[in-house]
Every structure is written in C-alpha cells, then in structure tokens.
Chain A
Amino acid sequence: MLEAVAFYGLAALILGFGLMVVTARSAVHSVVFLVLNFLAVAVAYVVLAAEFLAVIQVLVYAGGIVVLYLFVVMLVNQKRAPEAHHDPHRKSGLGVMLAAAVLAEVTAIVVYTASSSPASVPTPPPAIAGNTEQVGLLLYTDYLIPFEVASMLLLAAMVGAILFARKAQ
C-alpha cells in the first residue's frame, strides 16, 4: 500500500515536471522544472534500492549539468524568442501523434511481457552488503576499462567545450 502511494506520487511528480519542462514558455522556467524532475527521479532511484546512483544523480545532474544550462540561458540573451518565428513546414501535431503511438506500443509490450514473466527473478544473495560497495566492486573489476574510457571521454569533452565556447582569436 505504502509502495503504491510512493510510486504513483513519484510518477505524477516526474511526469508533471517533465511536461512542464517541455511546455514552459521561458527557458529559465524549464531549467527550474528540470531540476525538480531530476530530484524526483533521484527519489525513484532510492525507492528502487539504488542509493548510490541517487546521490550521483543529485550531484551530477541537479548540481552540475543544470548549472551549465542556467549559465548558457543567461549568456544568450534572447531578443527574438525562437517560438515567435513560425515555419509553415513544421508539423508539430504529427510529431505528438507519432510519440503517442510509440508510447502505446511500448506500454503494450511491457504489459504483454509482465503477464508472462515473473515479478522478480530469484537470485543468490550478493557476496557483500551495501549498494555502494556492490557498484564499486563491479566498477573497479569487470568494468574497469569502460570506467577509464569514460574518464577519457570526459576529458575530451571538457577540452572540446572550452574550444567551442571561447571567442575566436
């Protein structure tokens, strides 16, 4: 019962804030709703017993990426709102319909799969306790090379972002 209340409340928050991100008129409002959406998703991670990922979500997304977005929103001053310009070839209604069709299809697949497979697969108990310990063990043994590659990717992205964003000499 408590689980159901938590899930449906979280779902309403996540989807509501997501919709507000997409529909908000000003970009600053969108960024604020994006933070709230990220925080709600972090709470969903806690409910799904992924505490380490929830902390990372708050630190990296809500703390880092969103600040980046806010900086960019403030750096570009919009004299002319993008929505004011209207392209006659743009078919927004068709886009929404296609997205809704994809949602219906994916939901049908999930419902069909859920009816034929178990709610939880019996698994042996993990060798060590604690979510952070388990993630860390996997990250530094089986996934060590992807982990290092990710650090190289971040370095390359940092150099690239500086190169793109600075003024040409």
Chain B
Amino acid sequence: MPITPYHYLVLAAALFTIGVIGVMVRRNIIILFMSIELMLNAVNLNLVAFSRLYGHVVGQVFALFIVAVAAAEAAVGLGILLAFYRNKETLNVDEVNLLRG
C-alpha cells in the first residue's frame, strides 16, 4: 500500500491527540504550553499534507502564518507565566485562581 497524504493526516491526528492529553493531564503550566505547541505542529502537518494532496503551495503559506502566530503565542504566554510565577510562586494550573474561576 503506497504512502498517501492520508497517512500523514492520521499521523497528525495522533500527534494532536497527544497534545490534548498533555493539556488535560499535566499540571505544570510550562508543559501545558509545550502540549499546545505539539497541537499546532499537528495542524501544520495537516496543512502540508493537504498542500501535497492538491499540488498547491497555499497550505504551506497558511502553515507559515501558523508558525508566526505560534511564536507570538509562546512569547506572550510565557510572559504571563513569568508574571504569574512572580505573584504566586507556583506553576500549578490548579492554583491559577486569582480571578476566582
């Protein structure tokens, strides 16, 4: 059976699931952020697979935009994380309750 872009779609779905499990199971905020990066990578893999399937590079252009947004997200998210750590001296998501959420 030849390898088609559909194989890569299944691979991306599995990678996305690993990221979801990381977000739901771990309590360390840094590892939560890394799981989000895993999910963004899975989406990029999907876009590139479709770009290959349809023989058009527009999927790769969208993947580039996702890379830019991921960089912005990581920078702002880690900045917020540092500010939070300075206030509460912890990295546990269960203790993020300053707004009584």
B18 touches A48 (CB 8 A): no
Number of interface residues of B (CB under 8 A): 77
- Selected contact of A3 from candidates B2, B21, B78, CB within 8 Å: B2
Contacts of B2 in A (CB 8 A): 3-4, 119
Contacts of A95 in B (CB 8 A): 20-21, 24-25
Known: A48-B52, A138-B58, A157-B75. A82 touches B92 (CB 8 A): yes
Q: How large is the interface on A (under 10, 10 to 19, 20 to 34, 35 or more residues)?
A: 35 or more
Known: A138-B57, A146-B65, A157-B72. A30 touches B34 (CB 8 A): yes
Secondary structure at chain A's binding surface: helix, strand, loop or mixed? helix
State in angstroms the CA–CA spacing of A75 and B89 once bound together: 12
Q: Give the number of A-B contacts (CB < 8 Å).
A: 243
Secondary structure at chain B's binding surface: helix, strand, loop or mixed? helix
Contacts of A103 in B (CB 8 A): 13-14, 16-17
A99 touches B34 (CB 8 A): no
State in angstroms the CA–CA spacing of A137 and B55 once bound together: 15
Known: A22-B26, A161-B76. A85 touches B38 (CB 8 A): no
State in angstroms the CA–CA spacing of A158 and B29 once bound together: 21
- The residue in A18, A100, A146 that gathers the most chain B C-beta atoms within 10 A of its C-beta is A18
A contact residues vs B (CB 8 Å cutoff): 3-4, 6-7, 10-11, 14-15, 18-19, 21-22, 24, 27, 30-31, 34, 37-38, 41, 44-45, 48-50, 52-53, 56-57, 60-61, 64-65, 68-69, 72-73, 75-76, 78-83, 85, 87, 90, 92, 95-96, 98-100, 102-103, 106-107, 110-111, 113-114, 119-121, 123, 126, 131, 134-135, 138-139, 142-143, 146, 150, 153-154, 156-158, 160-165, 167
Closest 8 CB pairs of A and B: A95-B24, A164-B79, A157-B72, A123-B55, A22-B22, A82-B92, A161-B79, A114-B6
Q: List 16 A-B contacts (CB under 8 A).
A: A14-B11, A22-B35, A30-B30, A48-B5, A50-B52, A53-B60, A65-B37, A65-B70, A72-B81, A81-B28, A85-B90, A90-B27, A96-B24, A107-B10, A111-B10, A157-B76
Known: A7-B11, A37-B41, A107-B13. 20 other contacts (CB 8 A): A7-B3, A7-B8, A21-B18, A22-B21, A44-B8, A53-B44, A72-B78, A80-B89, A82-B91, A82-B93, A83-B28, A85-B90, A92-B25, A95-B25, A96-B25, A102-B20, A111-B6, A113-B6, A114-B4, A139-B64
